[in-house]
Amino acid sequence: MWVFSIVCLQLALQLVGASGSEMRTKVFVYGTLKKGEPNHEFMTDPATGKLWFIDNATTVDKFVMFVSSPRNIPFIVNSEEKNEGYQIKGELYEVDDQKLAILDDIERFYTKIDIDVTDSKDVIHAAKIYVLPKTYPKLEANKTMNFDNYYNGIEGRWYIEPNEKVFDVPSSDWLEEDESTESTISF
Ligand SMILES: *[C@@H]1O[C@H](CO)[C@@H](O)[C@H](O)[C@H]1NC(C)=O
Ligand SMILES: *[C@@H]1O[C@H](CO)[C@@H](O)[C@H](O)[C@H]1NC(C)=O
């Protein structure tokens, strides 16, 4: 009988351990990971962890968002010029540790920073967001390429899939080209 009790106790402890270790992290997505966008499958794939949609949300602070590079990738610049750009519209999720690790890998060329977002009921949430680590002053100065609510095909900028699912970040070189040489832009 006591053996059975110990087994039960161990099982119970394992269950507590399993649920207790499940950390949830709030993540705000603004680009191709949103619903209906080209990489949303990375969010929903049950093989790569769990996620819970919370709400549509908007950043409290303004950010500069571009859709650029030969692949028309949407990205937010971690601008030194705070209060430039727009309050960005996107989606707020909670993810488990496994899904967060996958997102960290997908967004490995980006920096994960802490921001505040407002949901549709005006509740403020602290959330993670992936932004480009560098600043691009010339690109940031061009307001015609700056958006507040991404969707694939915005201003004719259709997302181009990589050969492999690698979320490469454009080098600063071609970002310079991008703004000076129209012919290098593939849209
Ligand atoms: C979020 O925004 C999308 C696009 O505007 C809309 O279709 C959807 O109903 C919204 N979802 C919620 C939960 O408000
Ligand atoms: C801003 O970007 C657009 C689109 O690439 C381009 O047509 C325009 O010439 C750029 N403006 C400046 C001032 O560089």
Instruction: Flag whether 6 is in a domain.
Output: no
Structure-token pair, residue 112: 């994960």
Specify if 10 maps to a domain: no
Report how far ligand 2's centroid is from the alpha carbon of 168 (Å).
23
133 φ, ψ to 5°? -70, -25
Cβ of 177 less than 6 Å from ligand 2: no
In a domain, 11, yes or no: no
73, 170 in Cβ contact below 8 A? yes
1-37 burial: b if 16+ Cβ within 10 Å, else e: eeeeeeeeeeeeeeeeeeeeeeeebbbbbbbbbbeeb
pTM of the full structure: 0.78
Task: Examine residue 4 and state whether it is found in any structural domain, yes or no.
Answer: no
* Domain of residue 157, CATH code: 3.10.490.10
Tell me if 96 is assigned to some domain. yes
On whether the CB atoms of residues 56 and 89 are closer than 8 A, the answer is yes
Ligand that comes closest to the CA of residue 119: 1
**Closest to 75 in 3D by CA, of 162, 150, 160, 142:** 150
> pLDDT digits over 39-68, tens only?
999 999 999 999 999 999 999 999 989 888
Q: Which of 62, 57, 29 is nearest to 128 (CA)?
A: 29
**What residue numbers bound the domain in which 123 lies?**
22-184
Q: Work out which ligand 1 atom sits closest to the CA atom of 56.
A: 1
CB atoms within 10 A of CB 98: 14
Residue 158 lies in a domain: yes
In the set 91, 94, 107, 140, the catalytic residue is 107
- Residue 57 C-alpha to ligand 1 middle, in angstroms? 10
Does residue 129 lie within any of the structural domains?
yes
- Count up the domains in the chain and report the number: 1
Share of the chain above pLDDT 70, in %: 73
- Which protein residue's CA is at the shortest distance from atom 3 of ligand 1? 56
- Run of H or E residues at 91: strand 86-96
8 within some domain: no
pLDDT, one tens digit per residue, over 75-120 is: 898 766 667 889 999 999 999 999 999 999 988 888 999 999 999 9
**Residue 107 annotated in active site:** yes
Q: Which ligand 1 atom sits nearest the alpha carbon of residue 53? A: 13
